[in-house]
Amino acid sequence: MNKKKSTTHQLTRRTFIRQTGIAAALAAGVSSYLRLAPQAFANAGPATPFSFTPFTRPLPIPGRLAPATLNPAPGSIDAAVGSPAVYHGIAPEYNPAHAFNKASWVLTDPSTGKPFAEKRHILEYKRTQAELIPGVKTNLYGFNGTVPGPTIRARLGEPMVVRVKNSLADTETSLHLHGGHSPSHADGHPCFYVFPNQQRDYFYPHVAPKVNGKMDVAEVPSTMWYHDHGNDVTAFNVAHGLAGFCLLTDQLEENLIKNRYLPDVDLRDAAGNLLLAADGSTQQGRYDIPMAFTDQRFNADGSLWWDPFDHDGRIGDVFTVNGCAQPFLNVEPRKYRFRMLCASLARVYQLRLSNGQTMQQIGNDSWLLPKAIETSSLYLNPARRADVIIDFSKLAGQTIYLENIMTQTNGRKPDGVDPKAPIKMVKFVVGKTKNTAFPDFNVPTGVIRPHVNITAAEATVTRYFDFNRSNGAWQINGEFYNAYRCDAHIRKGAVEKWVLRNGSGGWWHPIHIHVEAHQVVSINGKAPPDFLKYKSDHTMLEDNTTVELLMKFRTFDGPFVFHCHNNNHEDMRMMKQMEICNIETSGATCPPTLNGQWFSVPQATCGVPTDYVKSHPGLFS
């Protein structure tokens, strides 16, 4: 049976490769799509005991995070580390006297001609309930009670403080802004906790690394997402709803919008005025739609199936988009921008349109690409974002589907692409007319966002990381994650070459590196596919694969982590800690010899009073 199925795959695969730039370029990994998992181990849990009629509910569009007044003020003595109000304090970089010099990063607001004022928000981890499946109530965790969380709207050079409250009585949490460039204190290091019923002020200066004193336009992110990153509980928390989008614009993207190469990110009237919600928040633009994909599995009581003993990776049998199983979306016959996010723990998607129409991919992970890539399907693995334009203008009155053709029966890796067995994810119902008040935009033909190539010659350090499985547990270079150990001591300003190796035949690992974008140089010695040639914040390390990448470390000091973004693997300690050290300011205390050495105290306690760390050492490792 396997043999027969493989043959089918091979035939269709050829067509598939011909049709898509992606597959051809992914040649390094494509062969692994074709192998099928042994049936005996295909069971990822009992089937969800509910049936429902798909495409009866509209795609929910997450609301925007509303502005808030923070009292006491961030950075004040009443909101310092150890204070009753904000126990975990705020990043040292928030202090105007800090070497970071936060004022120097603030840009001018083009609408007022004055420096951007600091934006303030409140984000609360809380229990909630939602109908992921119509009529079935499911207990979840939600940021401000919604799943996905409210979309954070950010602007380059506009500083932001998000006061995060953990109202879950159950667990320590840590908020990670994925694909962002943030201070260590605010980066969601797994041990930079927000304790139950405590608060932490996350300082997001929303900056890009500087080149010659100016922020590098090539490094500005567009589509970030935020999710929980608490030590040991990331997989559980993300599966239960703790994820949301963060959309950032800069002058370049705003010009693209103004010149009608992209639709409005925010809801505006025909005259271009912002339309605010009652709570003062901006709202999602009409033709710019975020879509977070998850796969879920349910118990008979409506709660999510969760196997705490599963360290392979959770695979669901119900597909949700923005917290709704198989929704429909009414669209006009025109172009739309979709920010697609794989918020699944272990599932890999290959998405295509049911009518065979191509899509234009304009961004990978956080960043817009230098040029649009026409593709007939999208490769979306855990944590990846694909920024995509779909043109419905020739489909007036028709219905098409966004389909997943990747089959996957366990958390280890996908079984392969099966174009004959598509799973419909979203139904697009195309109307007959378009709203003429909002003219269509054109797919950008020129440079969207420039990319500055990092060359191998710039690298002064090469590091090798082997991802492997040992006696049923996950290791990097033969070690488990340990908050007390510095695995990579990095000098700020350095260009490093990292070689990620997965010698196993059975497992895939999406490797996410915090704080900086990296540039994939090669996959098994070959050039990466087009969409991976520029900037990524994670790289899928397929089986028997070696990936070489280049990255620069800039702006921020301190401990950051890199890890497998199959969150079940991450929780089983497939993670490492890097310490970025500023040689200019730290001098002799910043030796290269800390690689692999032990700290006497964990470096991962930022924002927790020292006394507490001493009396609760167990929390920080």
Partner 1 sequence: MSNTNNTLTRRELLTGRWSEPVKPADSGRFVGPASSTPGGVSTSERASRRLPDCVVRNHREDTFRLVSDLISDQRVILGFIYTRCKGICPTTTLHMREAYRVLTARQAAPFRMITISVDPERDSPDDMLRHAAVNEAAGFPNWQFVVASPEDTLAIRRGLRLVDPDPVRDRNVSTHSGVLVLGNDRSNRWGGIPSGAAPVHIANTFERIARVGTLQEFAGFGQQPS
Question: Which listed option, Cu ion, partner 1, none, makes contact with residue 171 (CB within 5 to 8 Å by class)?
Answer: partner 1
Give the shortest CB-228-to-partner 1 separation in angstroms: 14
Looking at beta carbons, which pairs linking 474-481 to residues 24 or more positions away fall under 8 Å? 474/311, 474/564, 474/569, 474/572, 474/573, 474/574, 475/573, 475/574, 476/574, 476/575, 476/576, 477/576, 479/576, 480/573, 481/561, 481/563, 481/573, 481/574, 481/575, 481/576, 481/577
Q: Residue 569, interface with Cu ion (CB under 5 A)?
A: yes
Give the shortest CB-64-to-partner 1 separation in angstroms: 23
Positions in 135-164 near partner 1 (CB under 8 A): 137, 139
Scored b (16 or more CB within 10 A) or e, 150-184 reads bbbbbbbbbbbbbbbbbbbeebbbbbbbbbbbbbb
Whole-angstrom CA distances from 603 to 559, 579, 597, 621 are 7, 9, 12, 10
- Letters for 160-189 (x = contact with partner 1 by CB under 8 A, - = none) are ---------xxxx-----------------
Phi, psi of 430, deg, nearest 5 = -90, 120
Contacts of 457 (CB under 8 A, 6+ apart): none
Q: Residue 550, interface with Cu ion (CB under 5 A)?
A: no
Give the shortest CB-427-to-Cu ion separation in angstroms: 33
Q: Residue 564, interface with Cu ion (CB under 5 A)?
A: yes
Q: How many residues does the chain have?
A: 621
C-alpha span between 530 and 166 (Å, rounded)? 41
Q: Residue 512, interface with Cu ion (CB under 5 A)?
A: no
**Please, which residue, 412 or 492, has the CB nearer to partner 1?**
412
Q: Which of 230, 240, 255 is nearest to 314 (CA)?
A: 240
**Please, which residue, 40 or 278, has the CB nearer to partner 1?**
40
- Size of the residue set binding Cu ion (CB under 5 A): 4
Q: Looking at 8, 76, 83, 128, which residue binds partner 1 (CB under 8 A)?
A: 128
Return the H-helix or E-strand segment holding 4. Answer: helix 2-19
Positions in 229-258 near partner 1 (CB under 8 A): 231-233, 240
Stretch touching partner 1 by CB under 8 A, among 7-15, 467-475, 494-502, 538-546: 467-475
Stretch touching partner 1 by CB under 8 A, among 258-266, 304-312, 379-387, 416-424: 304-312
242: exposed, middle or buried (Cβ count in 10 Å: 0-12, 13-18, 19+): buried
* CA angle centred on 598, ends 597 and 600, rounded to 5°: 145
Q: Residue 566, interface with Cu ion (CB under 5 A)?
A: yes
**Please, which residue, 219 or 543, has the CB nearer to Cu ion?**
543
Q: How far is CA 314 from the centre of its chain?
A: 17
Q: Residue 409, interface with partner 1 (CB under 8 A)?
A: no
Q: Residue 470, interface with partner 1 (CB under 8 A)?
A: yes
Q: How far is CA 163 from the centre of its chain?
A: 20
Stretch touching partner 1 by CB under 8 A, among 51-59, 110-118, 213-221, 475-483: 475-483
**Please, which residue, 198 or 566, has the CB nearer to Cu ion?**
566
Question: Which listed option, Cu ion, partner 1, none, makes contact with residue 203 (CB within 5 to 8 Å by class)?
Answer: none
Binding site for Cu ion (CB under 5 A): 509, 564, 566, 569
Binding site for partner 1 (CB under 8 A): 37-38, 40-41, 126-129, 137, 139, 169-172, 196, 231-233, 240, 299-303, 306-312, 410, 412, 470-475, 480, 482, 506, 571-573, 616-621
